[in-house]
């Protein structure tokens, strides 16, 4: 399981970076999303995988009886997902705006370095 996840994370990071260095704006966004998912999976993997024992105490007990899954990585991932959800929503609107203003999806067409404001 760990090995599969490790490979998956590697693939996600690689694909994300590959997409980010393409010229298209949409691919830039997809790259960022893939990278974010890779990072979330990495937290999940490094928080140790414990199968089938959720960190919920049964009603008739007060403490955990046996080994339980660490809830912190899940909290972290949830936070990270929420944040990336907001950021990606903003990024989509921004890209859309760029497309409307620029009429192009190509990053090379953005060239404000020489253009004056």
Contact positions vs other proteins (CB under 8 A):
16, 20, 25, 28, 32, 35-36, 38-39, 42-43, 45-48, 56, 70, 72-73, 76, 78-80, 82-83, 86-87, 89-98, 101-102, 107, 110-113, 115-117
Q: How far is the CB of 48 from other proteins (least distance, A)?
A: 8
C-alpha 96/C-alpha 83 separation (Å) is 20
Q: Torsion angle of alpha carbons 84, 31, 13, 52, nearest 10°?
A: 40
Distances (CA, A) of 115 to 52, 54, 97, 109: 58, 57, 19, 12
Q: How far is the CB of 75 from other proteins (least distance, A)?
A: 9
Q: How far is the CB of 11 from other proteins (least distance, A)?
A: 15
């Amino acid at each position: 399981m760990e090995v599969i996840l490790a490979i998956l994370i590697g693939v996600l990071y690689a694909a994300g970076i590959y997409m980010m260095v393409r010229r298209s704006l949409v691919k830039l966004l997809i790259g960022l999303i893939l990278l974010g998912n890779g990072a979330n999976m990495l937290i999940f993997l490094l928080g140790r995988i414990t199968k089938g024992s959720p960190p919920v105490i049964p009603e008739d007990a007060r403490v955990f009886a046996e080994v339980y899954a660490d809830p912190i990585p899940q909290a972290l991932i949830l936070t990270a997902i929420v944040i990336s959800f907001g950021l990606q929503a903003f990024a989509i609107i921004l890209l859309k705006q760029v497309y409307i203003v620029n009429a192009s999806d190509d990053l090379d067409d953005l060239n404000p370095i020489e253009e004056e404001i």
